[in-house]
Structure formats: C-alpha cells, structure tokens
Homo-oligomer: A and B are copies of this chain.
C-alpha cells in the first residue's frame, strides 16, 4: 500500500499551510487503502481534499481565466480496468475529480463544458460559487501587472495523486484550474489521458508543470511504458529531460505495482509526499532533474 500526492511543480516554495494540507490528504487517502479500499477511491479522496482546500490551483482554489471565470479540468484512470474519465472546463462545481469519476463509469471518456456541467448537476456534485469581487479585483491587478504575458513562464499548483492498494491495483488522478489569466478555452495536460495522467495494470503516473510541453511528449503514457523496463526513477528522469529539452518544466509522481516509485521535478520545488505503512513524508520537493 502506497499513496503519493503532489501540489504542483514550481519555482516558488510551497507554504507550510499547503504542506500541512498535503499531509492531511495523504492521511485520508492512506486510511482508505488501509481499510481495504481501492487505489481509485484513495486517489479521488486525496485530490478532493486538495480541491476543497482552496490552497492549490484546483477546485475552489482554481485560477481565473482572462474572462473572470474558473474552468476546472481533471482526469482519473484505474490501471487494472483501464477505466478512464476526464472533464475539461467544468464551471460552477468545485470537484472536477468527482466529475471525472462519474464520467469514468459512463459510456464517455472526456466531457467538456456543457456536457460536463449536465453530468455534475445530475450527480449532485458540490457547487462552486462564482468568483467574488475580491477574486476579480486580484485578476485585474494581475493583468495590469502584465501577469498574462508571464503566465506561461510560471508554474502552477495543479494537484495529483497515484496509489497502490492492498490488492495490487493502481490508479492515478490529476486536477487543475489551468493557467491564470489565460485565454478561455486553453487546455493543458491535466485532463489529457496519456499526458497528465496514465495508469495500466502495473503503473500509475500523474504529471504537473507546463502542460504544453507535457502534451507534446505524452508524458504520462511515455513514463508508464518505459518504467516497465527501466523502473520509475530512470523512466521519469529520461522523460523529464525531454520536457526540459523542449523548453518546458514539469514534475511527476509514478509508482508501479511492486511499490517502486519516483517523485521528480525539473523545477526548484514540488510540494509532494507519500504515505505507506512506515508513515507519511511530505517535503517541498524530492528529486530535481536538470
């Protein structure tokens, strides 16, 4: 049993509050595993807590896009069944990971906007109130400071988790509010199965960072395929170097069904940690790849 979670790769050091919340999320996820729950349930629960905290760029803490709206993306995959679900541009609901979970069991794999909202409403997911005056004021200040131009140079606290349960099953998930002050409709790697998230019988991978380069590498699928031969550490390092070579930055968490894992990032920091029988470890970062 093992669960790994991250709060996004970035240049900035994560706050103590964010690390504390990450620990709480790992604790809740690990409890599910200990109680015999599935890796999938543990991943959803861990991400749900991070989404609800408002401390990360996900769920109620999601960035505003240029038009003052929060559009949330998430994806989720279970290894053994290859079941997968993703949601793009969900508005008005706070837990896109729960929407992805519902979609996973539907005939669909990916739903955007209207489609996603219909599903979220029907399944009684928790609502997210529209941004308030203070949120919009902060957005305006960001835009005035030229933050829109810098948005692609910064990194953002997308969240993600991977887990291995008692039965040896693995799962991976990811959730984000996208890039701040960005063109409405821009999609990063998070809801792209194969880029932001991938899981199969023996491997689970969740990525974060500059989505554009992660998509070009199809990072999660590449690491998932390579780690079978090379192990998570070498596979992760090789693919992260590829992202660096494209001018991008990224981080990833990956584990296999034997319990081997890696937490690696090209950025200075990535709030992340893991929980297993021996306890919980949470840090500002783990393995920096250059």
Question: Which A positions have Cβ atoms within 8 angstroms of B?
Answer: 77, 82-84, 88-89, 107-116, 118, 152, 183-188, 192-195, 198, 211-212, 215-218, 221-222, 225, 246
Query: Which among B108, B186, B194 is the interface contact of A212 at CB below 8 angstroms?
Result: B108
> Nearest chain B CB to A122's CB is how many angstroms away?
11
**Contact yes or no, B115 A183, CB < 8 A:** yes
Beyond A109-B216, A211-B109, whether A115 also contacts B221 by CB under 8 A is: no
**Contact yes or no, A193 B195, CB < 8 A:** yes
What does DSSP make chain A's interface, helix, strand, loop or mixed?
mixed
**Contact yes or no, A108 B221, CB < 8 A:** no
Q: In the complex, A222→B220 CA distance in Å?
A: 11
Beyond A152-B107, A187-B111, whether A194 also contacts B221 by CB under 8 A is: yes
Q: Determine which residue in A112, A152, A194, A198 has the highest number of CB atoms from chain B within 10 A of its CB, and name it.
A: A194
**Contact yes or no, A118 B187, CB < 8 A:** no
**Contact yes or no, B185 A112, CB < 8 A:** yes
Q: Which residues of B contact A112 (CB under 8 A)?
A: 88-89, 112-113, 185, 187
Starting from the known contacts A107-B212, A109-B211, A110-B186, 10 additional A-B residue pairs (CB-CB under 8 Å) come to A89-B112, A109-B212, A110-B192, A111-B186, A111-B187, A112-B185, A115-B186, A192-B194, A194-B194, A194-B218
